[in-house]
Structure 1
Amino acid sequence: MREKLSILLVEDNLLNQRIVTFSLKKYQHEVTIANNGLEGLNKFKEKKFDVVLMDIMMPVMDGLEATLKIREFEETSNIDDRTPIIAITANTMDNDREKCISFGMNEFMAKPFDMEKLLKIFDELKITV
């Protein structure tokens, strides 16, 4: 059995929110939802999360800008243990993964959501509590 993680899901699509939350709760993970990047940034500043799952294309603030601002917050707050951020996106062009990494994300996962692939990414990034 996996350890229970505190996960911030930054996703504007209600159906995707439900699918990801349902899948994660099967593993007893705690999921906090933010509907856009700005909301995600604000929730990140309020609470420590084990991992952030970040959509890219969102209203108000996209996932790339939100990731940059999260990394800036970690740096200015002297947070040494950076929270892993995983892009979960429909953008699947060849350079999209590299772009996400260049903005401070740790990994990239194409939609549709695949729980087995996400668990593999958790293992590769050694995401534990």
Structure 2
Amino acid sequence: MSWENRNFKLLLVEDNKLNQIVVKFSLKRFGYDIVTANNGIEAIEEFKKNEFDFILMDVMMPEMDGLEATKQIRQLENGHEIPIIALTADVITATANKCRDSGMTAHMSKPFEVEKLFEILESLNL
């Protein structure tokens, strides 16, 4: 599938360094180019500077959470909606609904599983 052999450029927005390492380690072997932001504020700045194939966005972060960052990124887009996939340890249905309401494209729970990401990418036709 294209998500396994395509050199995607993605923005990883995650405040936990260990989680950053896990995601990077899991995806770099597929040739993905990963830019990291530690919070929503940094995510918006990276979004303004770079073009990404998709964003993995932690929901709960200091300074600016993933929900607010997603809303602001959606306001900056010029007709091309980038897939934003929520990463959260909270698996409650209400959280999934909040993610969707903020403009996130999909939702996956932590711990990060590369197979689950590939399922989501396939469902998004990436």
Q: TM-score, normalised by structure 1?
A: 0.93
Q: How many angstroms apart in 1 are the aligned matches of 2:124 and 2:94?
A: 21
2:60 paired residue number: 57
Count of residue pairs brought into register by the alignment: 123
Partner residue, 2:44: 41
- Unpaired runs of 5+ residues, structure 2, are none
Structure with bigger helix share is 2
Report the counterpart of residue 115 of structure 2 in structure 1. 116
Q: How many Å apart are 1:94 and its aligned residue?
A: 1.6
Q: Which amino acid aligns with 1:67?
A: T
Separation of aligned partners in 2, 1:81 and 1:2 = 23
Distance across 2 between alignment mates of 1:41 and 1:98: 22
* Stretches of 4+ aligned residues off by more than 2 angstroms: none
The aligned counterpart of 2:7 is 4
What secondary structure does 1:122 align onto? Answer: helix
Query: Aligned partners of 1:28 and 1:105: how far apart in 2?
Result: 24
Note the 1:90-129 alignment, pairs <5 A.
90-127=89-126
More deviation in 17-26 or 1-10? Answer: 1-10
Quote how far apart the aligned CAs of 1:73 are: 0.9
Q: Does 1:13 align with 2:21?
A: no
Q: What is the aligned partner in structure 1 of residue 32 from structure 2? A: 29
Residue 84 of structure 2 aligns with an amino acid whose one-letter code is I
For residue 52 of structure 1, report the CA deviation from its aligned partner.
0.3
1:95-128 superposed Cα distances (whole Å, 9 cap, x missing partner)? 111110110000000001000000110110112x
Separation in structure 2 between the aligned mates of residue 6 and residue 104 of structure 1, nearest angstrom: 20
TM-score (norm 2): 0.95
- Aligned to 2:86, the other structure's residue is in SS state strand
Matched AA of 1:109: M
- Counterpart-to-counterpart distance in 2, 1:29 and 1:50: 10
Q: Identity across aligned pairs (percent)?
A: 47
Structure 1 gap segments, 5+ residues each: none
